[in-house]
Amino acid sequence: MEPIKWNDEKIEQHLKSLPPIKDRRSKQELYLKVQAKVHYKDNKGKRLPTWSLPALATACALVIFGVFVPDLMKNGGKMEQSKIAIEADKGSKGMDAASTATDEEVSLKSENKAVPVAYHGPIQESSLDGVGVDQDWVTVGYLDEQAQLVIPVSFVTEPNHYLDKVNEHVKKFDPAKAGLSGSPLQRAKITEEEETVFIDWPAGSIYEAEESLLKPLMALTFANENQKYKVVFRTDGKEGYEFPRTGPLNYLDLEVPGAPHFRYDAPTTDAFIVSLFSAGLEDDELPGELKGALEVMDEEQGYGLKPLLPKDLEFGVREITDDSVEITFPDSIELSHDDTEDLMMIDAILLTAESYGYESIMFKNANLDSIGPYQLNEPIEGITGQNVYHYQ
């Protein structure tokens, strides 16, 4: 018997006859859920008594003044998430602890003992939920002042399409304020279709020094969650772009490989955590596994990248599942819950583990219950974004 073949008409008929799938919830049930999320906007200004807004503003101002002003003065006006988290942590442990906040909380243990830093930590996805307002984030790659490194900077945003968020912050953020130079993306018209980003530059707008870092810059901007992405280049609307070294290029496939993370101090007081991939190293030049990455994270790397792990100490790495790992601190390590450099070390390990595909990281032998926003006695999940910048 001859096999029956599909034809276009049969396929179209079948598509049209696929069964309708209905929402099982009632209209009222759905309305209540929706209302809960838009309710506030609807009633803003209606239910609150007239005196409440000035009173609320005054209360907020007092809190901000009392809690943050000392740090703003120390940090040149920059107050970062990690510090806020430390304050929150202290607050939960009692007013005495909070009222005795000292310089050490934002200074370094090592050679920069007395230098306050504005540290830009990563985001934990859970911190974006449950605060009454939906939040999202976006990451944009910038160059350091020497154009040797890509510094990915994340911003907490309102939920929006990813590319719209990129475009918004490329315009809004002034990298010089964080000790960074610009991003070639600032000179581009960026659009998107599906998994492809279209980057359109005016001819001659990419400098030779920038070229070697374009791939990590775009990967860290558009493929920073381990998905693969493709960018297509255009020049004034026409296909392809003539790069100063590579010559004409139509597209690039982007992927962020697993890589060890280090500290980068900008000429301002801003401190960032940056991966070795940011220096333009190729996949095959980077450690292939988390264990290997941790082993090099105690070494100076050039490009202005400084180690955050103590020298010559071995960290245990045990993979629990494909996406969860257990990291054991060496016995000799001593962590302090209010030490920024210790927090940066934890963040660097978390970001490194995350870059190798581990979504859940459990620390062992930390001899500390919590540091910054993290509870060290339970798995830490959802590390995302990097070097979060909060506008003043």
Partner 1 sequence: MKETFDRLYDEYHHALYQFLFYMVRNRESAEDLVQEVYIRVLNAYESFEGKSSEKTWLYSIARHVAIDWLRKQSRRNKRFLIFDIKESESVLRDQDPLPEELVAKKESFKDLYKMLKRCSLDQQQVLVLRYIQSLSISETAQILSWTESKVKTTQHRAIKELRKWLDQQPGLEEELKDGTN
Instruction: Please identify, using beta-carbon distances, which residue of 10 and 390 lies nearer to partner 1.
Output: 10
* Using rule CB under 8 A, residue 41 touches partner 1: yes
* Using rule CB under 8 A, residue 6 touches partner 1: yes
CA 29 to CA 32: how far, in whole Å?
Answer: 5
> Exposed, middle or buried: residue 137 (CB in 10 Å: 0-12, 13-18, 19+)?
buried
Name the minimum Å distance from CB 259 to partner 1. Answer: 14
Stretch that binds partner 1, among 8-16, 49-57, 211-219, 340-348 (CB under 8 A): 8-16
Residue burial 369-384, b: 16+ Cβ < 10 Å; e: rest: ebbbbbebeeebbebb
Two structure tokens written together for 300: 């100076």
* Using rule CB under 8 A, residue 20 touches partner 1: yes
* Using rule CB under 8 A, residue 96 touches partner 1: no
Among 197, 359, 368, 385, contact with partner 1 (rule: CB under 8 A): 359
**Per-residue binder mask for partner 1 (CB under 8 A), 204-243, x = binder:** ---------------------xxxx---------------
**Per-residue binder mask for partner 1 (CB under 8 A), 266-305, x = binder:** ----------------------------------------
Instruction: Determine the 3-state secondary structure of 348 from DSSP.
Output: helix
* Using rule CB under 8 A, residue 10 touches partner 1: yes
Which residues inside 169-198 make contact with partner 1, applying CB under 8 A?
193-195
- Residue whose pair of structure tokens reads 């740090």 in the numeric block: 71
Name the minimum Å distance from CB 280 to partner 1. Answer: 21
Please, which contacts does 26-33 make with residues 24 or more away whose CB atoms are closer than 8 Å?
none
Closest to 383 (Cα-Cα) out of 53, 122, 52, 56: 122
Among 142, 272, 358, 389, contact with partner 1 (rule: CB under 8 A): 358
Stretch that binds partner 1, among 33-41, 80-88, 170-178, 199-207 (CB under 8 A): 33-41
Closest to 190 (Cα-Cα) out of 159, 217, 167: 167
Which residues inside 305-324 make contact with partner 1, applying CB under 8 A?
322-323
* Using rule CB under 8 A, residue 23 touches partner 1: yes
- Residue whose pair of structure tokens reads 């859970």 in the numeric block: 126
* Using rule CB under 8 A, residue 55 touches partner 1: no
3-state secondary structure 95-153: HHHHHCCCHHHHCCCCCCCCCCCEECCCEEHHHHCCCCCCCEEEEEEEECCCCCCEEEE
Residues forming the site for partner 1 (CB under 8 A): 1, 3-8, 10-25, 27, 30-31, 33-35, 37-38, 41-42, 161-162, 193-195, 225-228, 322-323, 357-359
